[in-house]
Chains A and B, each alone.
Chain A
Amino acid sequence: MNLENAWSRIALDIEKASHLREVERYDLAERTLRDALAEHPDVADLHLHLGYVFQDQARHDAAEQCARDALGCDPHEGYALLLLGDIASKAGRNVEAEQHYLAALQLDANNPDFLRKYSHLMYSVAELDKAERLVRASLEIDPNNPGSHSLLSVILTERRKRDEAEEAGTAGLRLAPDDDVPHFSIAVSYFHGGRPLKARQHLREALRIDPDDADTQELYLEVDKLCRWISLPLYYWSILCERIPGGPFAIWGLFLVSFYAMEALDVPAQALAIVGFSYLGIVIYTWIAMPLTRIWIRMVPPR
């Protein structure tokens, strides 16, 4: 009976600390967990959650120590390995992070969180094929995880599978309409898919939910800049360049070949001049569009 009481108290402390973390009262969360640890120093979960508190505050060394303490209490605590992996990945030690994630997957290969975290690591180092397969495996196990759908959407966008990316983004949004992450990921998908106005709309929504997210703010400013009418043609031009292998260089090559071909075919000089000046016009426009937009943004700042 006493043991049962002790476990329920530990569970309550952990829940309380989680709520305090959510409202960013890290000092109180830390105190709660330290008090609980003073009574039950061998409970891995308490060490782990204290590690999360430190991780939220970017105190990575302390978080790492807590994760190791948790593993000392319970070597089969997969989430402690996950925390170690996260810390290593944030510090750019990706090989080490992979080792931790794989060790966690050794413990439980069917854990969707482990698979998603590993997928995210693969995405951050541009191993996109493996990232996609991992997140799809995670979705097979837990199809209602909005985070996995959002991650899949971002991966597919980078792999230029735009329709599938939008589909995954929409699925994530359907599951968590009040979360900023699905809004962000579908905005990324729309932005790369040639729909900047819809992307801006979703980013506004994401910022309404979480106004302090630096990534969302950065992308919003970028998208808003390209939604101005001076820079919209530049945006579509860059989308075109993105879709052609070789991008602007391939277009230059095409222009060169057509120019030589026209010359060889004795096309009238007027036609040659039109082609030449059109290309020159595009080049000059791509140079001046962004400075002009910046001036405009100074006059009319983004809402």
Chain B
Amino acid sequence: MPAHRSDSNEDLFRPTLSAEHDTAGISEPWNPLYIMLITFFFGFVTGAILFWLNARRLGMPQRTGLIVGLTIAYLGLFIVAAAYTPPQTRERARAPESQEIRELIERLDKIKIDVPNQPLGTPSADAPEVAEGDTTPELEQTDKPATEKPAMAAAEPQAKERKSSNRLLRHGMKIVALLCGAVFYVGQKKRYRIAEGHGIDDGKLLGPGILACVIGFFVTLATEPLWLLVRGIYFSQ
């Protein structure tokens, strides 16, 4: 028989478990991985509400403070990020851009090129000869034609840039949401595994999930006046 209690195995015979390994207080928990997926698809606030409820179901109410704290920090970051993103990038702020383009088109419409009624390709008798690359006299007569053309050309990269920064905000916030969600997930994973290891049945997530989605939507909506306010203060300075 091998001498089993060797030095290398000595720690095997020392107690490892603490009160958090007991299943007391666990009742119908949800799989935190599913909540992570909900966070990904339906937003951070929805996920945070579910993580908060799940912390109670997992019998770890002491962790709810962290969830509330990180949620407030996330919303603060979202308000600041949304406020400092160029105004045109937000859906509601697209009107000025359209207006600008519309004005540009209207101005271009006003440019009248006096072309006599004759077949295409045959030069008019009284039309001045135009060398290749020259601007037409009519265009030169119109008001500020030289600035119109570059403005039109500049509009495209500008729109691209705005679109890109809007996407950056969206994806950036999603990554932050996932990182915060990962913090909650790691905190709840082990406890959920203990519940699973003791055959404790999962709770139903569908109803609370839908409710959390609705609340999350309204909370996100409620931040809009705040970031508009922050933006107003920023731009007024």
Contacts and interface: CB of A to CB of B under 8 A. Distances in A.
A109 interface: yes
A102 B13 contact: yes
Interface string B1-31: 1101100010011011111011110100000
Interface stretch (B67-75, B129-137, B193-201): B193-201
A285 B149 CA distance: 47
Interface string A93-128: 111001100100110011000000000001111110
Given A98-B15, A256-B171, A109 B197 contact: no
B197 A126 contact: yes
A137 interface: yes
Given A122-B16, A124-B198, A125-B197, A93 B1 contact: no
A294 interface: no
8 nearest A-B pairs in the assembled complex, by CB-CB distance: A92-B23, A124-B197, A126-B193, A94-B21, A110-B4, A109-B5, A125-B21, A98-B17
A152 interface: no
A95 B40 contact: no
Contact of B13 (A93, A105, A141): A105
B130 to A, nearest CB: 35
Contacts of B1: 110, 141
Contacts of A90: 198
A183 B36 CA distance: 33
Interface in B187-219: 190, 193-194, 197-198
B37 A248 contact: yes
Contacts of B37: 248
Contacts of B82: none
A125 B21 CA distance: 6
A90 B197 CA distance: 10
Contacts of A124: 194, 197-198
Given A90-B198, A130-B12, 19 more contacts: A93-B24, A94-B194, A95-B17, A95-B19, A98-B17, A109-B4, A109-B5, A110-B1, A110-B2, A110-B4, A124-B197, A125-B194, A125-B197, A133-B12, A137-B12, A141-B2, A141-B4, A248-B37, A256-B171
Contacts of A137: 4, 9, 12
Nearest to A90: B198
Contacts of B15: 95, 98-99, 102
Nearest to B195: A92
A interface SS class: helix
12 contacts: A90-B198, A92-B23, A93-B22, A93-B24, A95-B19, A106-B13, A109-B13, A110-B2, A125-B17, A125-B197, A141-B4, A249-B178
A134 interface: yes
A94 B23 contact: yes
Contacts of A277: none
Nearest to A89: B198
Contacts of B22: 92-95
Contacts of A99: 15
Nearest to B200: A92
A236 interface: no
Nearest to A158: B193
A102 B17 CA distance: 12
A256 B21 CA distance: 39
B196 to A, nearest CB: 9
Contacts of A110: 1-2, 4
A94 B17 CA distance: 7
Contacts of A133: 9, 12
Contacts of A127: 16-17
A106 B40 CA distance: 50
Contact of B24 (A92, A125, A134): A92
A140 interface: yes
Contacts of B23: 92, 94
A229 interface: no
Contacts of A123: 197
A296 interface: no
Nearest to A133: B12
B58 to A, nearest CB: 13
A252 interface: yes
A92 B198 contact: yes
A134 B21 CA distance: 18
